[in-house]
Amino acid sequence: MTPDLADFTDFGNTNFVSGSIVRTFTIENLASGILTLTDASPYVVISGATTEFSLTTPPSGTISGSSSTTFQITFNPTSVGLKSATASIANDDGDENPYNFSIQGTGDPAGTGTSLDPYLISNLDELKWVAEKTNSGNNFSGKYLKQTADIDISSVSNWTKIGTTTTVYFSGTYDGDNHLITGLSITSTTDSYNGLFGVIGSGGTVKNLGVTGASLSGSTAGLGILAGYNFGGTVDNCYTTGTVTTSHNNPGGLLGSSSGTVTKCYSTATVTATGATSNNVGGLIGAGLNISGSISQCYSTGNVSNNNTSGTFNTGGFIGIATHAISNCYSTGNVSSTTGGRAGGFIGGTGTGTPTFSFCYSTGSVTCPTKGGFVGYYNAGTFSNCFFDSNTAGTSTVCGTFVTSAPTGITAKTTAEMKAQSTFTGAGWDFRGESANGTNDYWGIDAGKNSGYPFLSWQYPAFPDINVQGNSTDIADGDATPSLNDHTDFGSIAVASGTVVRTLRFKTRVHLPYL
């Protein structure tokens, strides 16, 4: 018999750290004679997950005719996941001895899933629990999960993704809390959308997470280290390293496809497409779908290659196909589609609609029969204030091919010009140390960082400088002369009964060193 919540044989879910569930069962004597339980007290024997299930209140050993007795079993899980056991009652019933039934319960991670008390994910079993719950139809909508430690998943040879389709997806909030997941391996795929997450759905958020040392190989569409498809969700402050190899479409270093929001993310992964018709191959994202999506303040550095042999497929250093807005992003990886297709240093191709692409640049070399330093194929969209390094790209041609006319708003520059802040601030880019183009300070530049090219400010945050004040007066680091003025001299007070309390204030002064 399969355990069921209705008859209490399925104990349901409880927090494995502090939770427990007690269920009461009734033994009925349906005959007129006395029913005797023949095992020694406590009469009910539990086998299987005996550390999780225990008999806490035993039944009576004898039950008069047409009467009953009760007993209680407590489920107290010691780890996450499904726990199973069997309860056995030896008795003198001629045809139901022993009386056996299966019981089960599921241990959940610590936490209740609220924003103030999120589920805490600290190990491989708990990460698997997220996948199992999501893939069984619990999409965690409105729930919060927080990773509390780096998690090595290299022992799993072919990872089971979190979220499987555009109807069974993750829609909670997963906060990596700046921890890592290492050793992700996907060795084969049987359906679309594969990665750590298969599909992040509408309302879903994945943030503050690094996935490093990943190795992905597949033969279906949508392969990305963090997620196969960001299907209307939000990805923020995440990064990936490793390799992505596929014989199909839409592979990317971070995401296979995205129709959601992506901010402050990067990938150094190498992306390789081996199929003769592989399409939409990108360093960060394979396919940017849906005009409502957006990508901002992101970059990619991994090399991208495509073995396609057709003239109609796209490969880009940053994104394979772009149909929604991209702003304040860059790519530096080399792009190769040597036997066919269209390749661009930043965008492989643009789709339909009216997307805007602004304040972006690329520096990678581009190798392809049909190539552009920035765009491989142009269909629609508006470019503004975008650049590429013509020296490193190996071409000064902006776009490889187009439907009606080549795009404007993209300019080829020499390496020297690409390393000069004036090139960008003159085109309205918002840099540290200037306010004419805005005060968001998206960009910085320094000869010793990012090979001298502009970097995103969040890559090298302006560092704080501690300062301490007393009585609104600065106290110098190393000051060895206490003063009444800054309250480091507490003055005089009676020994027997007096005290003096001084309030000191810590401040941080922000320096912008990379102007």
pLDDT for 508 equals 54
What does DSSP say about strands 285-288 and 144-147: parallel, antiparallel, or unpaired? unpaired
| Segment holding 119, helix H or strand E | strand 119-121
Sign of the four-CA dihedral 121, 127, 132, 134: positive
List the structure tokens of 328.
Answer: 């304040």
Domain 127-345 class, CATH top level: mainly beta
Average pLDDT over residues 164-176: 97
Average pLDDT over residues 422-446: 97
- Judge whether residue 56 has pLDDT over 70: yes
**In this structure, are residues 340 and 346 in contact, taking their beta carbons and an 8 Å threshold?**
no
Residues 457 and 514: their CA atoms lie apart, in Å, by 9
pLDDT for 471 equals 82
128-145 burial string, b = 16+ CB within 10 Å, else e?
Answer: bbbbbbbbeeebbeebbb
pLDDT for 499 equals 83
217 forms bridges with which residues in the sheet?
245
Average pLDDT over residues 19-37: 96
pLDDT for 470 equals 83
pLDDT for 226 equals 98
Instruction: Burial-class residue 28 by CB neighbours within 10 Å (0-12, 13-18, 19+).
Output: exposed
- Judge whether residue 283 has pLDDT over 70: yes
| Segment holding 21, helix H or strand E | strand 21-28
**In this structure, are residues 170 and 161 in contact, taking their beta carbons and an 8 Å threshold?**
no
- For residues 289, 291, 296, 302, the Cα torsion angle rounded to the nearest 10 degrees is 20
- Judge whether residue 213 has pLDDT over 80: yes
- Judge whether residue 438 has pLDDT over 50: yes
Inter-CA distances, 111 with 16, 106, 133, 197, 290, Å: 9, 14, 15, 21, 36
What is the residue-averaged pLDDT of the chain?
Answer: 94
What are the domain boundaries of the chain? 10-108, 127-345, 431-461, 464-510
**In this structure, are residues 380 and 349 in contact, taking their beta carbons and an 8 Å threshold?**
no
Residues 56 and 30: their CA atoms lie apart, in Å, by 25
Q: How many CB atoms lie within 10 A of CB 102?
A: 15
Average pLDDT over residues 33-51: 96
Domain 10-108 class, CATH top level: mainly beta
**In this structure, are residues 431 and 462 in contact, taking their beta carbons and an 8 Å threshold?**
no
- Judge whether residue 334 has pLDDT over 90: yes
Instruction: Burial-class residue 509 by CB neighbours within 10 Å (0-12, 13-18, 19+).
Output: exposed
Chain centroid offset of residue 179 CA: 10
Which candidate, 242, 349, 235, places its Cα nearest to that of 287? 349
- Judge whether residue 157 has pLDDT over 70: yes
List the structure tokens of 197.
Answer: 């997450």
Between CA 112 and CA 118, with CA 115 as vertex, the angle to 5 degrees is: 40
pLDDT tens track for 193-209: 999 999 999 999 999 99
pLDDT tens track for 44-54: 999 999 999 99
pLDDT for 463 equals 63
Average pLDDT over residues 502-509: 68
Edge to edge, the sheet with strand 81-89 lists 10-15, 99-108, 81-89, 44-48
DSSP state of 200: E
- Judge whether residue 91 has pLDDT over 90: yes
pLDDT for 511 equals 37
Average the pLDDT over each of 185-189, 229-233, 262-266 and give the range with the smallest value: 185-189
Which candidate, 336, 332, 331, places its Cα nearest to that of 367? 336
**In this structure, are residues 282 and 304 in contact, taking their beta carbons and an 8 Å threshold?**
yes
List the structure tokens of 503.
Answer: 């309030």
**In this structure, are residues 443 and 459 in contact, taking their beta carbons and an 8 Å threshold?**
no
Binned at pLDDT 50, 70 and 90, residue 512 comes out as very low
Which candidate, 416, 410, 481, places its Cα nearest to that of 451? 416
- Judge whether residue 113 has pLDDT over 80: yes
Backbone angles phi, psi at 326, to 5 degrees: -135, 130
Strands (E), 414-503: 443-444, 455-456, 464-470, 473-475
pLDDT tens track for 373-390: 999 999 999 999 999 999
Instruction: Burial-class residue 439 by CB neighbours within 10 Å (0-12, 13-18, 19+).
Output: exposed
Strands (E), 183-222: 185-186, 197-200, 205-218
20 forms bridges with which residues in the sheet?
none
